[in-house]
Structure formats: structure tokens, C-alpha cells
Amino acid sequence: MSVFWRKEEKHKFARVSKRGRAAYLILCFEECLLFYGENIADWKWVLEELWEITSTWDIDRWVSRVCDLSPETVLPYASYKELMKKINEINFWYELNEEEFVFLQNLYHKERMGFQVISDLLDKIYDVITDDWGGMEESFTPSCLHNIDEAEEIMKNNDIPLPSNQSALEFIMKHRDKHYGKLFDGTQFSILSAQKES
């Protein structure tokens, strides 16, 4: 066993599934949105896209869509037409339609506190899946764990509270698997669910 693996095996998320890890980081992301006073309704569609990682087997589609909705993908382009021109030039593809792109442009261009923090945490959700992803991924993907540590560090450095929903945290920590684990409905733990009940 490598020294690297011995170190990472002690991590509290070492045996937690990739779905469980992503769910935890989405909860962190929601805490960040609340901390900065974001209107959760504005983020509803983005959150629904993120939470789909817990309930889909189509990981490739999730990865593509979350990559395409990130600020790093959306903000460099002034229009959907400009983006598609670039996509066609490099013979690539883009999962989102023009309406979704324009929605994200409007969302990300709003003046707000903490947007870089929001963007950084969104990246960590994506990276905890993709840093070791595909048919050759290592069991328990230890090389992805640093994303959780870095997300928590970002939150602590900005005085953002870590998730405190104990039922959600207990479920996540028990969702153990070498890879993705069983499907579950992560939205039951989301701020979206709490808003529906209120």
C-alpha cells in the first residue's frame, strides 16, 4: 500500500461514494449561497442539475452539463452564437441550449458579494467527480479527496458555516462504495426541499 493511500485512507470521506462526496459539496455550495444572501429561486435550476449526480447513471451527461453551466464556460462569451462558433471551430459540443445559456449569463453577471467563492465551490463539486473519472478510475478515488478539504478550507476562510443537517450528513457518511454507489434522491436534503415545505 502506498504512503499516499495510507494518508488518504484516514480521510473521513475515504470510503464514501462519489455520489456521497458530491452531495456533501452541494450542501456546502448551498450554505455558501445562503451565507451571501442569494435568492435560492434564482439558483433552482443550477441546483437541480447538480443534485442529479445522486440519481442518475448517466454520469457522462452530468459531467458535460455541469462543465457547460460553469462560470468559466459561460462568462468568456458575449452570446450563445459566439460560443457555438468557438465550439464548432474546435469540433466539440455544448450540452446547453440558448435559453439555458442566456439564463446563466444573467445569473452570473449580477453584481454580488462572494461570486468568486461561489464559483470556486461549484468547481469543487465538478472536480470531486472528474479528477479520477472513467473506466480506469481507482477504487475509492483517493486522488479526489483533496477537493473536499479545499472546499472546507474555502468556507472556513470566508466564515461560511459547514453543513449542519445531521440526517443528511449521517446518510452521506454511510453511503459507501468504491465508486458511485446506489442511486438516491439527494434533493431530499437540499434547501430546495425545505423551500417546498415552507
Q: What does the alpha-carbon distance between residue 154 and residue 158 come to, in Å, rounded to a whole number?
A: 6
Q: What does the alpha-carbon distance between residue 124 and residue 29 come to, in Å, rounded to a whole number?
A: 9
| CA pseudo-torsion sign 165, 169, 170, 171 | positive
Q: Which residue has the cell 469540433?
A: 91
Contact 107, 33 (CB under 8 A): no
Average pLDDT over residues 147-173: 98
pLDDT at 1: 43
Q: What does the alpha-carbon distance between residue 131 and residue 20 come to, in Å, rounded to a whole number?
A: 15
Q: How far apart are the first and last CA of the chain?
A: 50
Average pLDDT over residues 21-47: 97
Of 192, 197, 146, 163, which Cα lies nearest the Cα of 51? 192
Average pLDDT over residues 25-54: 98
Evaluate if residue 195 carries a pLDDT over 90. no
pLDDT at 4: 46
Residue ranges per domain, the chain?
Answer: 14-73+114-197
Residues 6 or more apart whose CB falls under 8 angstroms from that of 164 comprise: none
pLDDT at 135: 84
Evaluate if residue 16 carries a pLDDT over 50. yes
Average pLDDT over residues 44-73: 97
Average pLDDT over residues 128-133: 95
Of 162, 168, 159, which Cα lies nearest the Cα of 192? 168
Lowest-pLDDT range of 72-81, 133-142, 147-156: 133-142
The string of pLDDT tens digits covering residues 75-119 is 999 999 999 999 999 888 899 999 999 999 999 999 999 999 999
